[in-house]
Chain A
Amino acid sequence: MAFEIAMPQLGLTMEAGTVLHWLKRVGDTVRKEEPLLEIETDKTAVEVTSDTEGVLLAIVVPEGKAVPVGTVLGWIGQAGEAAPRVPAAAAGVATPRPSAPPPVSAAAEPAAPSGPTGPVRATPAARARARAAGVSLAAVRGTGPEGRVQARDVEGVRARPSPAGAYRDLPVAGARKVIAERLSQSFHGSVPVLLTAEAVVDRAHDLVGQMESDFRAKTGGKIGYLPLIVKAAALALRAHSRLNAHWMGHAIRLFEEIDIGIAVSLDGGLVVPVLRRADRLSLAEIATGVATLADKARTGTLTPAEMEGGTFTVSNLGGHHIGFFMPVINPPQVAILGVGRAAPRPMFRDGQVQALRALPLSLVFDHRAVDGEPAAAFLDAVKAALEAPYRLLL
């Protein structure tokens, strides 16, 4: 009897994976626990080992193809055995859906909500064209009744004039594809509102300077502003718990723990590993934690558990000459804090113009879940903590 190799579910929110590389060829012997193939989930590459021993009878899903969790990828059986036939639909391409953690109580969960976070309304013609063009319907603005996406809307997305001259296409697949879809859903599904504030960080700057040499001796790394910002955000979230939440559609889920995702930029895209219980970590622990996660992200060794379940995100572009910006909320979270580069500016203080260090803070919150007052209060708290950094030690 042949055993099926199926796309595994690694992590609660995984819905699809891409077959990266088959490590065995058809006809090869496979031992139990031997690596069979490499797959890519949302952001990481993972090795899949065999549950059984035998001969690889057939490869159903080739390299490069993305399929939903549970799809039959291949068969292992006895030498000479025929692999069962797999219906064409099973080997289909993944259609991404808005991800949400499984509901706690079934009674409260309504049917799939229609509207921006529910199934996309699109005509069959629009769907067919979107499929053919590799365009995600969630990214298309529908001009039909009730926002229905029609064929001409998909045409509009496709018809971008290509620049004359030589070019090369980077396929939208794997991590890039997932990022595009999730952020598109987030942006179009949520109601993002931007609040900005400037923190005067001269004192923080001094503190960082004082901590620098100790920290380097202890860990060998730099400390920088980020641990202060993360701690400030974490403490502010303690006091303003409405921003430490997920939008569930039918409910706003408030979390006990404060798990902050730190956006890390890589070549292939963006990953947001999560620093657990950030409010209880010391600045050093935050610094080393972030550094470790960033390293793992760059080497592609983050575990799915390390990438899941964040309740808030900090996106730091301070390494570049960036002021205020509008980061995109990481769904289903309800807010994200963007940080720009601290720079000396002339500012008014005590009736005089002084040269002060200003750190631009950009808070984007989902107005479906959080109102302006509480969001502003939260941002105020972050600013206040950064301006009086002793508060971070309390």
Chain B
Amino acid sequence: MRELTTSQAINEALAEELERDPRVFLIGEDIGLHGGAFAVTKGLFQRFGPKRIRNTPISEAVIVGAAVGAALVGTRPVAELMYLDFVTLAMDQIVNQGAKVKYMFGGKARVPAVVRMPFGAGRANAAQHSQSLEAWLCHVPGLKVVMPSTPADAKGLLKSAIRDDNLVLVLENKHLYFQKGPVPDGEHLVPLGAADVKRPGKDATVVATGRLLSAALSAAETLSKDGIDVEVLDPRTLYPLDAQAIIASVKKTGRLVTVHEAVKRFGFGAEVAAIVAESEAFDYLDAPIQRVAGAEVPVPFSKSLEDLFLPDEAKIVAACRRTLA
């Protein structure tokens, strides 16, 4: 088991899949010689050449649209948009084209493409480069959405996404690129649609995504000193969601706290809360569900304000305590 940064783990995943399947190629901005805005594709251009690592102009719509078209005729492209915020420029190709061609065409088409998009606040990137927009994408039938929180999961999920025959959006929290974690040697695949209990517990269930997984784990540590035993669950795939794992956990603990960077309204936490309320876990709920989320504002630039925007360990601890009041 090695310690890799998330960035290195993703790099490994790309290299392995490029090696394994000649139909796989990368397409995106500055991914060639430069090695990617976040160094994720470092070294790949040198190793695989310009035919497999396609460096594009700044053209989000055709980057994604070309990925869809290329996938339709039999290749397996992995596109990259530099920031999830820029998905807006490619929304038609994702939502109206890629997500729907299989259904609209009566089943014959396949779009085995991946779009990787870094996201998240906390690096003074301000309002247009810091958003968490996963809710938009999870809302569209035909799309799959994954959000890894550890280097091992980032590698395993990306490899599975590339091998999946659907349009899979891989949302990578920027903050995690430089975080280290253990990554298994050899072939490492994490299946889509499977959550992971990162810390078992019995007093409350915390469902946390992205960089907030580690804040949730810290919160659990803090609460354990008061004899409160929190279970931390990492969904890993947002759609299709492993609802069964969440339901089973809430049946065990009776309390649910959702944690994400995206703003609260109409968000992933709302979906989890509704799923639980509609499920058999409803009769086990012993306190109102709590959602911890980003402040409902555009992400501010100033650090002091950006820190207020982001959820943190203290907010997660407070939410857990509210369920135990």
Q: Mask for B269-310, Cβ within 8 A of A = 1, else 0?
A: 000000000000011111100000000000000000000000
Check if B287 sits within 8 Å of A128, measured CB to CB: no
Contacts of A124 in B (CB 8 A): 282-286
Check if A125 sits within 8 Å of B325, measured CB to CB: no
Check if B283 sits within 8 Å of A128, measured CB to CB: yes
Contacts of B254 in A (CB 8 A): 125, 151
Contacts of B283 in A (CB 8 A): 124-125, 127-128
Contacts of A144 in B (CB 8 A): 287, 325
**Which of B's residues lie within 8 Å of A, judged by CB?**
254, 282-287, 325
**Of the candidates A125, A145, A150, which one forms a contact with B284 in the assembled complex, judged by CB atoms under 8 Å apart?**
A125
Closest to A144 in B: B325
| Cα(A125)–Cα(B286), bound, Å | 5
- Whether A282 is near chain B, meaning CB under 8 Å from some CB there, is no
Question: Which residues of A5-26 are within 8 A (CB) of B?
Answer: none
A135 to chain B, nearest CB (A): 15
B80 to chain A, nearest CB (A): 44
Question: Which residues of A120-164 are within 8 A (CB) of B?
Answer: 123-128, 144-145, 150-151
Check if A126 sits within 8 Å of B286, measured CB to CB: yes
- A sample of 16 more A-B contacts (CB under 8 A), given A128-B283, A150-B286, is A123-B285, A123-B287, A124-B282, A124-B283, A124-B284, A125-B254, A125-B284, A125-B286, A126-B286, A127-B283, A128-B284, A144-B287, A144-B325, A145-B325, A150-B287, A151-B286
Tell me what chain B mostly uses at the interface: helix, strand, loop, or mixed.
Answer: loop
A152 to chain B, nearest CB (A): 8
Check if A123 sits within 8 Å of B325, measured CB to CB: no
| Cα(A151)–Cα(B203), bound, Å | 13
Contacts of A150 in B (CB 8 A): 286-287
Closest to B284 in A: A125
Closest to B254 in A: A125
| Cα(A125)–Cα(B256), bound, Å | 13
Closest to B281 in A: A124
| Cα(A210)–Cα(B287), bound, Å | 67
Interchain Cβ contacts under 8 Å between A and B, 6 examples: A125-B254, A125-B284, A125-B286, A128-B283, A128-B284, A144-B325
Contacts of A145 in B (CB 8 A): 325
A157 to chain B, nearest CB (A): 15
| Cα(A126)–Cα(B254), bound, Å | 11
Contacts of A125 in B (CB 8 A): 254, 283-286
Question: Which residues of A226-282 are within 8 A (CB) of B?
Answer: none
Question: Which residues of A297-335 are within 8 A (CB) of B?
Answer: none
| Cα(A150)–Cα(B325), bound, Å | 10
A129 to chain B, nearest CB (A): 9
Contacts of A123 in B (CB 8 A): 285-287
B40 to chain A, nearest CB (A): 45
| Cα(A128)–Cα(B325), bound, Å | 20
| Cα(A114)–Cα(B283), bound, Å | 22
Closest to A149 in B: B286
Closest 5 CB pairs of A and B: A128-B283, A125-B286, A124-B285, A123-B286, A151-B286
A256 to chain B, nearest CB (A): 47
A378 to chain B, nearest CB (A): 43
| Cα(A144)–Cα(B322), bound, Å | 10
Contacts of A127 in B (CB 8 A): 283
| Cα(A124)–Cα(B284), bound, Å | 6
A58 to chain B, nearest CB (A): 30
Contacts of B325 in A (CB 8 A): 144-145
| Cα(A126)–Cα(B286), bound, Å | 7
| Cα(A125)–Cα(B289), bound, Å | 13
B322 to chain A, nearest CB (A): 8
B209 to chain A, nearest CB (A): 25
| Cα(A53)–Cα(B15), bound, Å | 83
| Cα(A144)–Cα(B325), bound, Å | 6
| Cα(A124)–Cα(B287), bound, Å | 8
| Cα(A334)–Cα(B247), bound, Å | 48
Closest to A143 in B: B325
Closest to B277 in A: A124
A161 to chain B, nearest CB (A): 24
| Cα(A384)–Cα(B284), bound, Å | 58
| Cα(A173)–Cα(B66), bound, Å | 71
Closest to A152 in B: B286
| Cα(A125)–Cα(B282), bound, Å | 8
Contacts of A128 in B (CB 8 A): 283-284
Closest to A129 in B: B283
B316 to chain A, nearest CB (A): 19
A144 to chain B, nearest CB (A): 7
Central interface residue in B254, B282, B287, by most chain A CB within 10 Å: B287
A147 to chain B, nearest CB (A): 12
| Cα(A167)–Cα(B287), bound, Å | 37
| Cα(A123)–Cα(B254), bound, Å | 10
Closest to A125 in B: B286
Closest to A146 in B: B325
Closest to A127 in B: B283
Closest to B251 in A: A125
Contacts of A151 in B (CB 8 A): 254, 286
B277 to chain A, nearest CB (A): 9
B108 to chain A, nearest CB (A): 43
Contacts of A126 in B (CB 8 A): 286
Contacts of B282 in A (CB 8 A): 124
| Cα(A151)–Cα(B254), bound, Å | 9
